[in-house]
A = this chain, B = another copy of it.
Amino acid sequence: MKTTFGEYIRLLRTKKELTLTQLAAKLNLDSANLSKIENGIRDFDEKRLPKLAKIFGLNLKELRNEYITDQLGKKIYETNCTKQLLKVAEEKAEYRRNLNKNLQTEKAV
């Protein structure tokens, strides 16, 4: 998937020939806001992922992966983060994972 999450939703929606109003109703949200989501003006709320998965018969885990990569991609884009810096960010994530691991073993003692 090399689109934004909003474009992805639009793709799913049009393939099923649903209108904004119809899909919005299924998702419990306003069609105007869904329009903004598809157009990248607003974010899709993570708590609706299970509903979205169900509506389109998608695997929730995979959908969530689409979602988090979109979120991260957006942040990478917004911060103008180069590949080089992204590597540093990944190392810092790794560092946090280790911090957490150490906390766990500490607790065990």
Seen from chain A, the residues whose Cβ lies within 8 Å of a Cβ on chain B are 1-4, 65, 68-77, 79, 81, 83, 85-86, 88-93, 95-97, 99-100
Number of copies: 2
A44 to B93, CA, bound (A): 17
With most chain B CB atoms within 10 A of its CB, the pick from A71, A93, A95 is: A93
Question: Once the chains bind, are A72 and B68 in contact (CB under 8 Å)?
Answer: no
Determine chain A's interface SS by DSSP, over half rule: helix
Contact among B3, B71, B88, B91 with A75 in the assembled complex (CB-CB below 8 Å)? B71
Q: A88 — which chain B residues lie within 8 A by C-beta?
A: 1, 65, 69, 73
Instruction: Give the residue among A70, A73, A83, A92 with the most B Cβ atoms within 10 A.
Output: A92
Q: For residue A76, which residues in chain B have a CB less than 8 angstroms away from its CB? A: 72, 89-90, 92-93
Tell me, in angstroms, the Cα distance from A88 to B85 when the chains sit together.
16
A3 CB contact (under 8 Å) in B65, B73, B95: B95
A-B contact pairs, 29 of them (CB 8 A): A2-B91, A2-B92, A4-B95, A4-B96, A4-B99, A68-B81, A68-B85, A69-B81, A69-B88, A69-B92, A70-B89, A72-B79, A72-B85, A72-B86, A73-B92, A73-B93, A73-B95, A73-B96, A74-B92, A74-B96, A76-B90, A76-B92, A77-B93, A77-B97, A77-B100, A81-B93, A83-B90, A86-B86, A86-B90
